[in-house]
Amino acid sequence: MRVTRPPRTKYDLSFRADAVALLERTERSINEVAVDLGLPKSTLYNWYKREMAKKQRGKLPSSKATASSASMASDPQNDKERIAQLERELVALRKKNEQLEMDRAILKKAAAFFAKESE
């Protein structure tokens, strides 16, 4: 009898970055964060190791990004536009964060409900 593995889950890069950022900004263990996100702890650990290796290598921003930020810093009008854009983005992200927190709470309740039902 042959045992088959479940299909491998692919996570997009932004999810990986967010998971590692969550791990870095909280004092929770890799295991706790992995459980909250529904990941195997080894997966989160590997992402974290890779991110730390990148930081150790000291990856510098591309020259294109550096040039564009330098040109923005010299023009006060661009600074005001950039601040306004960042404020709009902040409002949108806060709204999205609130929605995601609500979704997560609902999913937790649903998981608890189905766990009780399966007993």
Does residue 3 sit within a domain?
Answer: no
Token pair recorded at residue 36? 């909250």
Instruction: Tell me: do 55 and 80 sit in the same domain.
Output: no
pLDDT of the chain, 119 residues: tens digit per residue: 677 777 777 888 888 888 898 888 888 899 988 888 888 999 999 999 999 898 888 765 554 544 455 554 557 778 888 888 899 999 989 999 998 998 888 888 888 877 887 77
Instruction: Tell me: do 79 and 57 sit in the same domain.
Output: no
Does residue 47 sit within a domain?
Answer: yes
Instruction: Tell me: do 56 and 86 sit in the same domain.
Output: no
Angle between helices 13-25 and 30-37 (to 10 degrees): 140
Does residue 53 sit within a domain?
Answer: yes
Parent domain of 86? 73-119
Q: Residue 47: what are its φ and ψ, rounded to 5°?
A: -60, -40
Does residue 66 sit within a domain?
Answer: no
Instruction: Tell me: do 78 and 101 sit in the same domain.
Output: yes
d(CA 21, CA 37): 13
Instruction: Tell me: do 85 and 47 sit in the same domain.
Output: no
d(CA 66, CA 40): 37
Number of domains in the chain: 2
Given a contact cutoff of 8 angstroms between Cβ atoms, the answer to whether 23 and 30 are in contact is yes
Does residue 67 sit within a domain?
Answer: no
Instruction: Tell me: do 14 and 57 sit in the same domain.
Output: yes
Instruction: Output the pTM of the full model.
Output: 0.45
